[in-house]
Structure 1
Amino acid sequence: MTRVLVVDDQDLVRAGLAALLRTAPDITEVSEVRDGEAAVEAARRQRWDVVLMDIRLPGMSGIAATEEILAKVPEPPHVIVLTTFDIDEYVYAALRAGASGFLLKDTSPRRLVEAVRVVTQGEMLFAPAVTRRLVEAYTRQPASAADPEALPELTAREREVLRLVGQGVGNDTIAGRLHVTEGTVKTHLHRIMSKLSLNSRAQAVVMAYESGLVVPGQSR
């Protein structure tokens, strides 16, 4: 059962999102706040599974609020950032902050509810193609070969898993390519995130690009 916090400064948008989420049988609690400061306070005061965070907020931005929540809340929620445009100048910053993905504000009701369910399972909510498009748009890596020796704190197998995650490959497909179980892939991911102090799969994608394990335009 899932608890969701909706953060948006537009009253009608916020109320509409909350009302929609309350219709889902597996979402047990929905609360609303209108700015970043209130979101941080709500996250400190009560445990939430998912936060729907508008990027553009008065005062503390959605990016700053996301960073604050993920860095300082003991059991941080998964954060989904909300944006008006499919390529927003702030989306990459949100991924770097640890958000689990993003949704457009005109997304369908079914997609919204499904996104909440997906991130609670530790996955990113947007398609791999969108992941690659976002990262390629906001990184400035040179068009050179990937560095197989990047991130020396990882084992060779962990680097391979991270490389595939960075290319937008799902856990089940990674398991098939490496001839291991999906549970083993999740164990590798847990160790990768622990070693690199990452909070989300989205941050792992960004790390794969920034470390040189994956370069923009690289095929899977």
Structure 2
Amino acid sequence: MTSILLVDDHAVVRTGLKMLLNDLSDMEVVGEASEGEEAIKKVEELQPRVVLMDLSMPHGKDGLSATVEIKKRWPEVQILILTMHDDEEYLFRVIQAGASGCILKSALHHELIHAISVVAEGSAYLYPTATKKLMEDYLERMKSGKDSDTYSLLTDREKEVLTLIAKGFSNKEIGEKLVISVKTVENHKSNIMEKLKLKTRPELVEYALKKGLLGYGI
């Protein structure tokens, strides 16, 4: 059973989503929140598997800020962003915030259910036009010489670490999974950043997403 926290500033939207999801045998809405700060408290209290997070909430903490805070404190929680903006700027902000996926509010019910199932399994989900935008950006970077096939420079262990970092696991959690020390994880991370010529964790996530390492290739 996938436990879900709904975060949207419109009560009518939350009610509709709750009715839709609770009608499914493998999903259950365990809580609701109307803004980001409340969402953070609900995550701490309920520990949902998936947070369905509205991007724009004018009153209180916005969806992106709440996403950053939740992923920092509970990296195992998967966040699916709901947005009405089919815009490249918003797409990259969502990825950088650490969300597991993004879906348009105009999506059909079966598309939303599929997206929730995908992120609940720990994979990444992007709506089709978002995938196209990322591909176009990647091709543009290739043409301009800003990107190259540096993935082959990584060792097998570095590839494992890269994938786990991109999925939101902390250094300690990665060390436990791979049975290595936190210091070794940090060394692998430094080597990865140097080889891929990346500077921040969000850039690692974007790189991993483009490489299809999160279970959703482009």
Shorter-chain TM-score above 0.5: yes
Whether 1:119 and 2:89 are equivalent positions in the alignment is: no
Q: Distance in 2 between matches of 1:72 and 1:12?
A: 29
Select the residue among 160, 168, 180 that pairs with 1:199. 168
Matched residue type, 2:73: K
Asked if 2 retains the 8 angstrom alpha-carbon contact of 1:98 and 1:203, the reply is no
For 1:136-155, list aligned pairs within 5 A: 136=136, 141=141, 143-144=144-145, 146-149=147-150, 154-155=154-155
Matched residue type, 2:162: I
CA change 1:24–1:205 in 2 (3 A) is: same
Matched residue type, 1:199: G
Structure 1 vs Structure 2: percent identity of aligned residues? 31
Aligned-residue offset at 1:38: 0.4
Q: Distance in 2 between matches of 1:145 and 1:89?
A: 19
Matched residue type, 1:192: L
Indicate the residue corresponding to 2:86 in structure 1. 86
Indicate the residue corresponding to 1:65 in structure 2. 66
Indicate the residue corresponding to 1:39 in structure 2. 39
Structure having the larger proportion of residues in helix: 2
Aligned-residue offset at 1:86: 2.0
Could you say what the CA RMSD is over the residues aligned between the two structures, in angstroms?
3.4
Aligned length: 179
Aligned-residue offset at 1:70: 0.3
Structure 2 SS opposite 1:122: coil
Structure 2 SS opposite 1:90: helix
Aligned-residue offset at 1:12: 1.1
Asked if 2 retains the 8 angstrom alpha-carbon contact of 1:91 and 1:102, the reply is yes
CA change 1:22–1:209 in 2 (3 A) is: closer
Judge which range, 34-43 or 124-133, deviates more: 124-133
Residue segments in structure 1 that go unaligned for 5+ positions in a row: 162-187, 214-219
For 1:4-19, list aligned pairs within 5 A: 4-19=4-19
Aligned-residue offset at 1:56: 0.6
Runs of 4+, deviation exceeding 6 Å: none
TM-score, normalised to structure 1, is: 0.67
Residue segments in structure 2 that go unaligned for 5+ positions in a row: 170-201, 212-217
Indicate the residue corresponding to 1:98 in structure 2. 98
